[in-house]
């Protein structure tokens, strides 16, 4: 950012409406209307607001409305919960060059068929642990990834219960009860 001219980026400048046209004419084909009333002309505009914002505000953010095909895509694409669980260990039990640990179950139980048992099976949805680069304190931290309804369930549990389940999980996968 320090290499960019000082006045190139505008901050705290919500956009109210993007006036665009389907024509191929090019020059100044788009006008960006800000909440404060300022209007900025441009040849092209790249919009990078989040999907949630688009779902809620596409009808007022664009004039004219976006083409049907784009609106259908915005409606069809979804998103869900993804949580990170940070666990700290007194000493690392993984190899020094390890970056990620994947957990693969070899029994035939399919967690997606056991939604009603989510309270028992949520831990199986932890797909991997990424190794967090040690800080100056030299702590040993793994980041566990969990998504979907299991993540939502995990969020309702007391931290102590999450800790107990993760410890048990690691004991199961490493076969080392001393971790």
Q: How far is the CB of 25 from ligand FAD (least distance, A)?
A: 25
User: What is the nearest approach in angstroms of ligand FAD to the Cβ of residue 35?
Assistant: 8
Give the integer Cα–Cα distance in Å for 71 and 133: 41
What letters, b where the CB count within 10 A reaches 16 and e where it falls short, cover 52-81?
eebeeebeebbeeebeeeebeeeeeeeeee
Judged by CB under 6 A, does residue 50 bind ligand FAD? yes
The answer to whether 56 contacts ligand FAD (rule: CB under 6 A) is: no
Contact flag: residue 52 with ligand FAD (CB under 6 A)? no
Contact status: 2 vs ligand FAD (CB under 6 A): no
Task: Specify the residue, 15 or 169, whose C-beta has the smaller distance to ligand FAD.
Answer: 15
What are the tokens at 11?
């901050």
Comparison of 121 and 142: residue with beta carbon closer to ligand FAD: 142
Minimal distance, residue 158 CB to ligand FAD, in Å: 21
Asked if residue 86 binds ligand FAD (CB under 6 A), the reply is no
Tokens of 103: 């957990």
Integer angstrom CA distances of residue 160 from 1, 25, 127, 179: 42, 62, 20, 16
Joined tokens for residue 21 = 């046209």
Q: Which of 1, 3, 14, 25 binds ligand FAD (CB under 6 A)?
A: 14
């Amino acid at each position: 950012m320090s290499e960019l001219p000082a006045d190139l980026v505008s901050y705290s400048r919500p956009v109210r409406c993007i006036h665009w046209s389907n024509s191929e004419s090019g020059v100044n084909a788009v006008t960006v209307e800000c909440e404060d009333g300022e209007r900025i002309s441009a040849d092209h505009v790249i919009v990078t607001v989040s999907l949630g914002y688009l779902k809620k505000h596409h009808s007022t953010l664009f004039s004219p409305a976006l083409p049907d095909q784009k609106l259908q895509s915005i409606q069809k694409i979804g998103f869900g919960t993804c949580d990170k669980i940070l666990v700290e260990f007194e000493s690392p039990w993984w190899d020094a060059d390890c970056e990620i640990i994947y957990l693969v179950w070899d029994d035939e139980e399919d967690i997606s068929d056991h939604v009603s048992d989510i309270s028992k099976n949520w831990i199986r949805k932890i797909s991997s642990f990424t190794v967090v680069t040690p800080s100056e304190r030299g702590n040993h931290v793994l980041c566990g990834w969990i998504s979907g309804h299991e993540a939502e369930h995990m969020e309702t549990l007391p931290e102590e219960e999450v800790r107990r389940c993760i410890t048990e999980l690691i004991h199961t996968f490493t076969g080392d009860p001393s971790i």
